[in-house]
Structure 1
Amino acid sequence: MGAVWRRDQSDYLTDALAQLTGWTRDLRGLKRTLQLDESEHRQLAEQVTIYADAAEVRAQLRRLDGYTQIQICPAEGGPLTPGEVSLAARIEAAYKALKA
């Protein structure tokens, strides 16, 4: 039986987040700004709501000057979890499908 290499969970999350182009991380969570028209914003907002509810993760969207700002916040200001990074990946995939 081979040795098991264990890494801190935050290392995996950092690696996963590095694969998500355009997402940034700060003390409050993950952020992304997208240039979308009103129709695209509505479509993405519907999908984000469904994904966030299913993952039990809090996501905030707001519209400002033709841009959609997304913020994914860990519960109670806690550390970033796989759920938040997974939600960011699902949002990114939905955004790319919307723009395809």
Structure 2
Amino acid sequence: MGAVWKRNRRRDYISDALSQLTGWVHEGDCLKRTLPLDDTEHAVLTERISVAADTFGVRPHIRRLDGRTQIQLCAGDNGALTSAEIGMAARVEAAYQSLNQ
């Protein structure tokens, strides 16, 4: 996933990336997404997220609540979101989309 850079403007990587990630919300130092999944889809998605998380070195917080899967990707110790969290969000989105095909 590439970010859209605008000329003659301050680069805002997070906003540019989020504009391409439908459904993701930027709150504080985290990216969040809630998905309507059944238990089987949740298990499949969680496994796919686990594999991708190792690649990106990100530790997503995943929980099941009222028939929905909530995913949270938070910044590391430096307090700023990085390309790792953005890339991970894109991977989660791709994995989610593949469940619906």
Is residue 2:36 matched to residue 1:28?
Answer: no
Point out the more displaced range, 68-77 or 44-53: 68-77
What letter matches 1:44 in structure 2?
A: L
TM-score by length of structure 2 reads 0.86
Question: In proportion to residue count, which structure has more helix?
Answer: 1
After superposition, where does 1:55-74 map in structure 2 within 5 Å?
Answer: 55-74=56-75
Q: Which runs of 4+ in 1 moved over 6 A?
A: none
Q: Which runs of 5+ in 2 are unaligned?
A: 1-6
| Identity within the alignment, % | 51
Q: Which runs of 5+ in 1 are unaligned?
A: none
Maintained 8 Å contact 1:58/1:75: no
Number of corresponding residues? 95
TM-score by length of structure 1 reads 0.87
For residue 76 of structure 1, give the secondary structure of its aligned residue in structure 2: coil
Provide the alpha-carbon RMSD of the alignment: 1.7
